[in-house]
């Protein structure tokens, strides 16, 4: 599998030298770490506290039949979010899982076991609506990030469901690493305004601009901000993650959901220890070969800077743990043959 040349990695976080977005200085420290250092020297931002979250929840609890819509992927973070909303915060969630045809059975089973154990209603949405878009992305060899396009799509869908069921609060399982400023309640996991996302963002916008002639995708939003702005016109819902307000480490809540909800780690996923859909393998491969890193590198680099994960642990998880065979398996399901040249033979 060709994922491009080996690049020097920042000595403090896990981001590689990838000019112009990320550059390493003479000490081997990346431009993102330097910027963070300067921000902290100016005083940084106050951390969010659980009491802030409790105050927000008070506004919504019990006001509608379901007072929150919880986006469930079957992974540890969103399963813990569902657990917290029901058990810790005594809300009445509607669990929401979508499957665009590439979700893993292990992940779907985790969601089913969790809703059974918690006695929570589940909305399961299965569609082939984005399959064609995925196929087009792989066929054209775009530098756009497959996962970013998917998140634009699934956030649109999530807002639609919140409107349909008149739910004012959307809960995501996003970690602190998945938001550059947790206080921005409507920002998605991929806060693509950050400098370390510049090239990826430009590629994604260009790809989407190229779809404008296709009636199927003419109305596809180009950014998460556009998704939020459009949703606002119809139904106001805020998006939050309990993980932004809690100091709990992943190991702690994994132990809880394993014991209480029968949660199991999936057999196969990238990064190690995560739960992601099968398209994710193609997305990771594509980001590595075009950009030299993935959105997971950005997320984990943030967690390392915040002291939520050690650099060694992040590097271990980010090691590529799949090969050509896996990529072709997923491509087969899209009905395409990856070119030898693409895969590096």
Q: How far is the CB of 207 from Zn ion (least distance, A)?
A: 28
Nearer to Zn ion, 10 or 130 (CB): 10
Q: Which residue is it, tokens 């400023």?
A: 181
Q: How far is the CB of 184 from Zn ion (least distance, A)?
A: 22
Q: How far is the CB of 138 from Zn ion (least distance, A)?
A: 30
Q: Which two tokens stand for residue 106?
A: 């292990």
Nearer to Zn ion, 15 or 162 (CB): 15
Task: Give the CA count within 13 Å in the CB-facing half-sphere of 284.
Answer: 23
8: phi then psi, degrees, rounded to nearest 5: -65, 140
What is the C-alpha separation between 116 and 177, in angstroms, rounded? Answer: 29
Q: How far is the CB of 12 from Zn ion (least distance, A)?
A: 5
3-state secondary structure of 121: strand
Q: How far is the CB of 291 from Zn ion (least distance, A)?
A: 16
Q: How far is the CB of 24 from Zn ion (least distance, A)?
A: 8
Nearer to Zn ion, 12 or 66 (CB): 12
- Interhelix angle 198-209/146-164, rounded to 10 degrees, is 70
Q: How far is the CB of 152 from Zn ion (least distance, A)?
A: 27
Long-range contact list for 84-88, CB < 8 A, 24+ apart? 84/242, 84/246, 85/171, 85/242, 86/118, 86/119, 86/120, 87/118, 87/260, 88/242
Helix, strand, coil share (%) of the chain residues, nearest 5:
50, 10, 45
**Chain residues in the site for Zn ion (CB under 5 A):** 10, 12-13, 15, 30, 33
Q: How far is the CB of 160 from Zn ion (least distance, A)?
A: 38
CB 259 within 8 A of CB 192: no
Q: Which residue is it, tokens 């594509």?
A: 286
Q: Which two tokens stand for residue 5?
A: 């040349």
Nearer to Zn ion, 12 or 297 (CB): 12
Contacts for 166 with CB less than 8 Å, ≥ 6 apart: 64, 235
Nearer to Zn ion, 12 or 187 (CB): 12
Q: Which two tokens stand for residue 25?
A: 């200085």
Nearer to Zn ion, 180 or 223 (CB): 180
Nearer to Zn ion, 16 or 242 (CB): 16
Nearer to Zn ion, 207 or 293 (CB): 293
């Amino acid at each position: 599998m060709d994922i491009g040349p080996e690049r020097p990695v920042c000595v403090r976080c896990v981001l590689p030298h990838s000019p112009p977005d990320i550059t390493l200085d003479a000490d081997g420290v990346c431009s993102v770490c330097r910027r963070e250092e300067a921000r902290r020297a100016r005083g940084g931002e106050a951390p969010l506290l659980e009491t802030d979250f409790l105050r927000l929840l008070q506004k919504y609890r019990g006001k509608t039949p379901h007072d929150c819509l919880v986006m469930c992927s079957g992974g540890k973070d969103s399963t813990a979010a569902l657990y917290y909303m029901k058990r810790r915060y005594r809300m009445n969630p509607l669990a929401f899982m979508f499957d665009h045809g590439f979700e893993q059975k292990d992940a779907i089973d985790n969601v089913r076991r969790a809703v059974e154990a918690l006695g929570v209603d589940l909305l399961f949405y299965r569609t082939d609506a984005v399959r064609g878009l995925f196929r087009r992305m792989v066929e054209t060899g775009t530098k756009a990030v497959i996962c970013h396009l998917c998140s634009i799509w699934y956030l649109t869908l999530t807002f639609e469901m919140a409107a349909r069921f008149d739910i004012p609060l959307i809960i995501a399982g996003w970690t602190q690493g998945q938001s550059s400023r947790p206080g921005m309640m409507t920002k998605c996991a991929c806060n693509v305004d950050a400098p370390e996302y510049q090239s990826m963002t430009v590629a994604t916008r260009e790809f989407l601009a190229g779809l404008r002639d296709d009636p199927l995708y003419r109305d596809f939003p180009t950014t998460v901000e556009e998704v939020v702005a459009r949703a606002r016109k119809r139904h106001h819902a805020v998006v939050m993650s309990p993980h932004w307000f809690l100091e709990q480490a992943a190991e702690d809540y994994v132990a809880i959901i394993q014991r209480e909800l029968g949660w199991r780690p999936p057999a196969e996923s990238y990064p190690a220890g995560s739960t992601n859909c099968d398209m994710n393998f193609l997305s990771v491969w594509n980001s590595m070969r075009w950009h030299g890193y993935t959105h997971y590198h950005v997320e984990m680099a943030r967690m390392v800077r915040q002291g939520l994960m050690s650099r060694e642990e992040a590097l271990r998880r980010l090691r590529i743990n799949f090969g050509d065979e896996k990529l072709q398996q997923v491509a087969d399901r899209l009905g395409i043959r990856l070119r030898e040249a693409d895969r590096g033979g």
